[in-house]
Amino acid sequence: GSPTPTPVPHALPISVNGSTIVLTNNGTAFLLIINGTFSASLTPIINTTSPVTPSPSITGTTTTPGPPPQPHIKPVVYNRCDNTHCTAPVPSKLNVHLVPHTHDDVGWLKTVDQYYYGSQSETKKAGVQYIIESVIQSLLRAEHRRFIYVETSFFWMWWREQDEDYRHQVRKLVNEGRLEFISGGWVMHDEATTHYQSIIDQMTWGHRRLRDMIGQCVVPRIGWQIDPFGHSRESAHLSAMFGFDGLFFARLDYEDQKLRSAEKRMEFIWEGSDDIGRSADIWTHVMAGALYGPPKGFDWEGNDEPIIDNPESEDYNVDRIVDKFLNYTRSHSTNYSTNQLLIPMGMDFNFQSANSWFTNMDKLIRYTNARQSNGSNINVFYSTPTCYLAAVHQSNNIFTTKSDDFFPYAGDNNTYWTGYFTSRPALKRYERVGNNFLQVCKQLDVLAGMGGAYDKEVTALREWQAVMQHHDAITGTEQQHVANNYALKLAKSIAGCDRVVDRAVAKLAAKSIANRTVQSLPDQLFCQHLNVSACEWTESLNTSLAVTVYNPYGQPVRHIVRLPITNWSLQVLNPTGAPISQTYVFPIPDPVLELKERVSEAVEELVFEASVPALGFATYILKRQDTDNSQTKPVVRKVEGNFSVQTPGFNVLFDGYGRLQALQFRDSGRTVSLHQEFAYYRSFAGNNYGPNRASGAYVFRPERQVADVIDPCDWYYRAQVVESPLLTQVYHKIKEGLSQVIRIDHSSDAIEFDYTCGPIPVADELGKEMVFRWQTNLTTGGVFYTDSNGRQTMRRRRDYRPTYNLTVTQLVSGNYYPVTNWIAIRDEVAGLQLTMLNDRAQGGTGFRDGQIELMVHRRILQDDGMGVDEALNEPGVDGKGLVIRGRFWLQLATVASAAELRREAVNRLMMEPVVTFSRLDKEPTHYHKEHRTNYTALYNPLPRNIHLLTLEQWANRTLLLRLEHFYQWNESREWSTPVRVELRDVFREFVVYDVLETTLSATENILAVRLRFWETNANNRLSPQTHRFEPKRHELNTTDLSVIINPMEIRTFIVRTKPR
């Protein structure tokens, strides 16, 4: 047997280029052999660069950047699984890299299961299980063949059905570089409507499952975003943080592509961040062919002719096909600046018959290369994006740079893909709710020490929330039955996580469970219909009810609880058991009461303020009373004249109809006019031929460039005002199917708009796209700002693109941008900024002076011809059209303070408290005796600029922990500074004692990642000159387990813990 090695205490295994390495908590690294047992010699890895200087001790929570980062460990590497398996290009020739691939949508025209199993063939002949099986068999048949696969969710479904012998063969294909996983996320995520937290989660889970299947040799090195409809800067930044060497995509604006092709700039360095420096840059390749498919005539999934190489056959066609291929490659190569050329071979759900592809590609390679003996300079071989990038890197070419993004994307002058920013708004909201609940579920699973008992339930929500990030899921570009299936799967997985939250909250709340099992603790109940102001537990209250508010955010929050009730005989007790004096009963808006899906007798809701500790909960008790005078009834009145409402910083001015007029600063008296407008664009009803592109699920094309403003009748619009010391609410019914409540919290300067919209009327056979507008007297000059996936700030300008000259053909849709979390306009002279926050991804613009416009709903009667083959006409609950309910928050502030207000508000909205209920069979005093009613998991709240992005159970009894600095370097004098966090003392009930810092998707030791650096030409024509901050990265201090986090950094750790 093998000798027994010396044990390594508190060591975490990591992967470096296929080797397994153990890094101990004193920083020493040891090699493991590939089967996972310790090497007998346990030889330390010697750092061959330069000595590591220990970081000095830093006190306080904020500091200036410290010493230079520690040099990277240069690991000893065995069993490399990188480009050593690549076919070497010939320097003197044009090297053509054939990349066989399939693009497998995780739902679109069919559901996920229908695509995987191959059912519903009349819709689309596509069965992913057959694709994977067919490809594996073809690869096993010939060692020179290569294939890439992307969507881990489908591969995981297939993997679970295979026996271990077959799995071993697949692992061998991967280890030999014949099968390569590219990108490796659970799905290929959208880049316009997704939030960065969900992008990170879905990519992390995909990479985790790849490791579970294949082992150490499977870490993807390439981002492969070939089908999303536009590309974001933050997604590029995240790709670099995942450890990707390069990014490949196919969809590029037609004018941008024309210019880039002419100047051979289809490959460039994308600067992913102004805050992180060169480590956020990523080499980027844009495909110049027919999207991401093969050249015309070389699709051996379709009806293209095979290569017939029998000279005796009358159909012999080798010379003709090779000539055609040579002509294509010479022409196609003019788009690029090196002698390497990538040609993708495959399209949507191709390779169901992989043999037909590989048989013909084998012949194409053989006969094309045979022409070299006659002087041809074209060299063709199987390749992968990883191998292609390595070959390009060796060319030492100088590349131009880009620092903005690729929105909006236009296919031609009438086809702006800006409709999907808003399509299916209810599903977009449900995705946001799913992410919120997933974070809560994962956190509580850790904090309650569930030890993996509920891993099945947590994983189900992980995976379906990840599916929702697919570029035909959250985008709203799937068929209706697929959207229904997404919602059903998300609902089922949320229900599974209900059980995790139920047991975790019950366990954390119990003061002692020494003599009880977790299963015996009282049930936590959930109200899944609070979005329509319905809750069976608060409406049918015949006993006291514990209301537990869990806050997943790392700061204490003040949360307004709103619970529908049918009985006023209630008293609210705070976590100490004392009655709350400020509780109010507000009427539920009539349009909410009329919602078809609402099953409730309640017409009022109980409103009170809850104070909830950081990463913890507070429990309030609703106690039944014999009398109904325990609530304070707000003053309800009709609007009869102009009036104002005070907030801490403003007088909010309304006219005699209850319409917003202005915001007046209370300290200076300065007034900013503010008017709301409701309008709709008529959808263009084209036939999708030539210039007649219709508006549809993907495309926003208005019939006219001016919207129809909804002019409400005075008797409709005249508002009702409900006033209390806590809140003032102004109720508006604007038109049938359109209403809102303007909610003013007297402790906050943010103004909330709670609206219902729909069904959109289409009896006139006109599709309509509904927009809300806020018009001010700010001078903005057509400049506005949007978020990039909820993170970075992007500056937008009317009728302008930073890297090419825009031809203005669609004034409105050509100025629409994705708004994941916020949009803002700014008056630089006045020093003021107006920001709108939303509760789901939407399309929006600020191209008109002083105005913000957000699209809230779309109902269109034509398809736009982009493949979904179905009009975006959502039926809603009763088949008469979809009704949505949503919220906006308006912030007016000085430019200097706007970022601070926005950053904190956005994080709190993304991590909203979750409320659970528990029936009490005894008096509240008994509940207080037996239960904790105020709990925080943190020793202290996190610093105000640090966000707990991830806390979840991970592999081998470890935890995955992510901390992020959510300010950019130039946003706040106080908070745009580095912060020191001691990981050991973050949590109250357990100690972090061993830490490994990894790449963003938790796949590799951060110290072992080798960055490729490229020669760039910053004098790129039309490129904006932006100031970039180059911070010094601070490595983890392995002595006290502290880390200094710079602005916009996300730091990912795999940690081990023990009870305090």
Length of the chain: 1060
Determine how many CB atoms are found less than 10 A away from the CB of residue 172: 12
DSSP H helical ranges for 677-796: 714-717
- Residue recorded with tokens 């590989």: 358
Helices 425-447 and 480-509 sit at what angle, rounded to 10 degrees? 30
Do residues 815 and 705 lie in contact, with contact meaning Cβ atoms separated by under 8 Å? no
Q: What are phi and psi of 593, to 5 degrees?
A: -60, -30
Q: What are phi and psi of 875, to 5 degrees?
A: -80, -20
Largest CA distance in the chain: 101
| String of DSSP letters for 457-486 | HHHHHHHHHHHTTBTTTTTS-S-HHHHHHH
DSSP H helical ranges for 614-767: 714-717
Do residues 631 and 618 lie in contact, with contact meaning Cβ atoms separated by under 8 Å? no
DSSP reduced 3-state for 836:
strand
Locate 857 and state its tokens. 């709903």
> Within a 13 Å sphere around the CA of 978, how many CA atoms are in the beta-carbon half?
22
Residue from 227, 253, 745, 839 carrying the catalytic annotation = 227
In 3D space, the residue among 352, 323, 420, 367 whose CA is nearest the CA of residue 108 turns out to be 420
Rounded to whole angstroms, how far apart are CA atoms 627 and 819? 48
H/E segment holding residue 844? strand 842-845
Encode 701-720: b = buried (16+ Cβ within 10 Å), e = exposed. bbeeeebeeeebeeeebbbb
Q: Which amino acid is at 209?
A: R
Locate 867 and state its tokens. 């493949």
Q: Which residues are paired to 29 by β-bridges?
A: 23
Long-range contacts, stretch 742-748, CB < 8 angstroms, 24+ apart: 742/660, 744/645, 744/647, 744/652, 745/560, 745/647, 746/646, 746/647, 746/648, 747/558, 747/648, 748/647, 748/648
Rounded to whole angstroms, how far apart are CA atoms 960 and 1055? 7
Determine how many CB atoms are found less than 10 A away from the CB of residue 763: 5
**Cβ neighbours for 197, distance < 8 A, ≥ 6 positions apart:** 435, 439, 790, 910, 949
Q: Is 227 a catalytic residue?
A: yes
In 3D space, the residue among 158, 170, 147, 157 whose CA is nearest the CA of residue 224 turns out to be 147
Rounded to whole angstroms, how far apart are CA atoms 960 and 1052? 7
H/E segment holding residue 797? strand 792-797
Rounded to whole angstroms, how far apart are CA atoms 364 and 322? 7
**Cβ neighbours for 226, distance < 8 A, ≥ 6 positions apart:** 103, 188, 248, 249, 250, 251, 287, 291, 292, 344
Q: How far is CA 772 from CA 89, 281, 595, 762, in A?
A: 56, 37, 21, 19
| Ramachandran bin of 959, using left for φ above 0, alpha for ψ from -120 to 50, beta for the remaining angles | beta
In 3D space, the residue among 409, 477, 230, 420 whose CA is nearest the CA of residue 814 turns out to be 409
Rounded to whole angstroms, how far apart are CA atoms 401 and 816? 24
Q: Which residues are paired to 612 by β-bridges?
A: 557
Q: Cα Rg for the chain, rounded, in angstroms? A: 30
Active site residues: 227
